[in-house]
Chains A and B, each alone.
Chain A
Amino acid sequence: MSVLAHVFEATGIATIVLSSVREMAEKVSPPRALHCEFPLGRPLGRPGDAAFQHDVLARAFALLGAPSGPVLVDHPEVIEADEQPVACALPPRFDPNLPAAVDEAHGIRKAYDRALARRGVTSVGRVINADEVPAALGVLHDVAEGAAWDAAGIPGGNTTAVCHDIRTYYEEAALELVGGTSPGGRSLEAWFFERTAAGSTMLAARAAMRDAGAKFPVWFYMAPGQR
């Protein structure tokens, strides 16, 4: 973002960066930056809080009045990510003959469909669609159980993309299951990886691939780095 600010400024457009990594803003020195110590992925701070978002914008636009730069100002409020799993009920086991993650993915489908109907758009679909999520989890289950990852039939042959689709399917469904509450930053991530069979399966498959000698980018980006 800070690099692009210099590029856009050079064409005659005034720029303001909402910085999320202060050290990077200090190094690149964009003309104007408002550093926002908010959860990563939420540069305007609080979802569903128009007043707070307007406060951020007002502080950002105020930087246009500076006579010279670079200008780097901190938003006065710090919002920490919430690393506690959001309280979100999961469906009971339905078919004990299926791997738990596969059974679970079938079980939350109705919630996912409600989310899609409400929003009209989904970020699932990079390499698989919602219909294909249970089967993809079946493949990851096999990998976690010892199947050769490069012969297991990972959809699209792309571990990062298929894990994106699975996690997004769960997180979009979860938003329909949390009863109108607005989960804190990373609390859905924590729920997915710490509470769901799909998250456990994904981490187990990732560890199996790492231990089997898969190249770093192939396994590492299946989950957040700290996991």
Chain B
Amino acid sequence: MNGDQAMRAHSATIPAPRFANPAWVTPPALSAATVAIVTSAALHTPDDDRFTAGDTSYRFIGSDRRDLVLGHWSPNFDRAAVAIDLNVVYPIDRLHELAASGVIGAVAPRHVSFAGNQPDDVATVRLDSGPAAAAALRADGVDVVLLTPV
């Protein structure tokens, strides 16, 4: 079993919450939608607070920032990918290209970064930091969020 297979097998055993009556949003037409990225790569700008191990908080990333630091604590994924091409984790340039060509309406003014290595109950991101980040993006006029893991 290689490294990715081992991690996927392990991740599949992690307890996961079940959502009864989950929400379902019908967005506006994509060509009119404002799109944001939410990543769990713990990316952050160098001048922002670093993520701690097991951090349940989030950072905003301005849509114009490309100088991002990988703050994730896990050694169990390809950590160099961000240095090779930021877009393979955080496709910000691809979104701007889609906005320029009219495929999406607009790129959100800011995006959100969480750390993927959460406590097993994920209670804080479910009940506190997650809703706070979502409300902030909603206030920014975001219609669609693309979630990217590592």
Give the B-binding residues of A (Cβ under 8 A): 1-21, 23-24, 27-31, 39-48, 50, 53-54, 57, 60-61, 64, 68-70, 80-81, 83, 115, 119-123, 125-126, 160-161, 163-164, 167-168, 171-172, 174-175, 182-183, 185-186, 188-189, 221-226
Contact = CB atoms under 8 A, between A and B. Distances in A.
Contacts of B4: 39-40, 80-81, 185-186
18 contacts: A8-B137, A9-B22, A13-B144, A17-B149, A19-B149, A20-B150, A21-B8, A24-B11, A41-B82, A43-B148, A44-B87, A81-B4, A122-B69, A126-B71, A164-B73, A167-B75, A186-B3, A221-B73
Interface in B65-97: 67-71, 73-85, 87-89, 91, 93-95, 97
- Interface size classification for chain B: 35 or more
Contacts of B79: 41, 123, 164, 167-168, 171, 189
Nearest to A81: B4
Contact of A60 (B10, B146, B149): B146
Given A3-B126, A18-B146, A226-B1, A185 B81 contact: yes
A46 B87 CA distance: 9
Interface of B: 1-4, 6-8, 10-12, 14, 16-19, 22-27, 30, 33, 38, 40, 46, 50, 53, 67-71, 73-85, 87-89, 91, 93-95, 97-98, 103-104, 114, 116, 122, 125-126, 130-131, 133-135, 137-138, 142-150
